[in-house]
Amino acid sequence: MKPTAKMPAQLSGAQYHINCKKGDLAPFVLLPGDPGRVTKVANLWDKKKEIANHREYHSMTGEYNGTKISCLSTGIGSPSTAIAIEEAARIGCHTFIRIGTTGAIQAHIKPGDLIINTAGVRLEGTSHSYVDANYPAFAHYEVILALIEACEKLKIKYHLGITASTDAFYVGEGRPGFRRYDQSRFKHTIDDLQQTRVTNLEMESAALFTIANLYGLRAGSVCAVIDNIVTEKWKVCGEKEIGLVASEAVTILAKWDKLKEKNHKKYFFPSLLK
């Protein structure tokens, strides 16, 4: 198909931004924000091959425990994440797991813990370009269950919770801006989110969940806690753990997909394992 303004692509046939074409990426894709994290995650696999490194979109494809898997960075924030999902879906990817860092806003959650997000508060703007504000942002139940199973298998501490996805790391997440910039409307944001039992803040999951559900794709999110805004603790950690958990979850999902196909079922349910 010839590229057009409405359907942009590279002349090679690769997607315009991620620079990947059909067959480059596996159906299961891990989505870190940081392009540098892609290689770190792929080093956990049994096989790996670099596919592309274009703008903020670094991609590798490989194999983990017999399952084909890919990792594609999204850059920071929901706008670039939406592009990654749009273009990866166009070349056959159907399951996306965000692997990133996050700030906790509940005092009992510590740096180094993982949070499996079940849903997202849509404080970012990207998802609102797709659908009105009343539409929910929720992870696919099979991905949530696979991430839980992976954490239990690997004996990694985790929490389940609702994230709030914002567009601004500083003023949008309760931190002062440059020269202590602040506005009165920001002062109670964290308190209000805590009251509604939101567990953490990050910048991508709500848009990922929204877009995936609109397109009939599966999506989930597992994040490593690196700070707690309530306790003011900060420790950059957990990159290896989120990579392992998400990779293990992919092998679990692939197994469940085969069970569904074998039993002519559309949805996974526990008794399929008997």
The pLDDT score that the predictor gives to residue 1 is 60
Cβ-contact 225, 238 below 8 angstroms: yes
Q: Determine what percent of the chain falls in helix, strand and coil, rounding each to the nearest 5.
A: 35, 25, 40
Residue 179 in contact with residue 100, Cβ under 8 Å? no
> What's the pLDDT score for residue 212?
98
Helix axes 239-262, 141-154, angle to 10 degrees: 120
Q: With contact defined as beta carbons under 8 Å apart, do 167 and 203 qualify? A: yes
Residue 233 forms beta bridges with which residues?
228
Domains parsed from the chain with CATH numbers: 28-264 (3.40.50.1580)
**pLDDT for the residue 171:** 86
Give the distance between the most distant pair of CA atoms in the chain: 61
Residue 184 pLDDT: 83
pTM summary value: 0.94
Neighbours of 95 (CB within 10 A): 24
Q: How many angstroms from the chain centroid is the CA of residue 36?
A: 16
Residue type, 200: N
Q: What is the pLDDT of residue 124?
A: 97
| Model pLDDT, residue 11 | 62
Distance (Å, whole) CA 56 – CA 36? 10
Q: Which of 271, 125, 143 is nearest to 206 (CA)?
A: 125
Q: pLDDT means per 10 residues in the chain (274 residues)?
A: 70 89 97 97 98 97 98 98 98 98 96 97 98 97 98 98 95 86 85 96 98 98 94 90 98 98 97 93
Place of tokens 């039992």: 197
Reduced to 3 states (helix: H, G, I; strand: E, B; else coil), residue 159 is strand
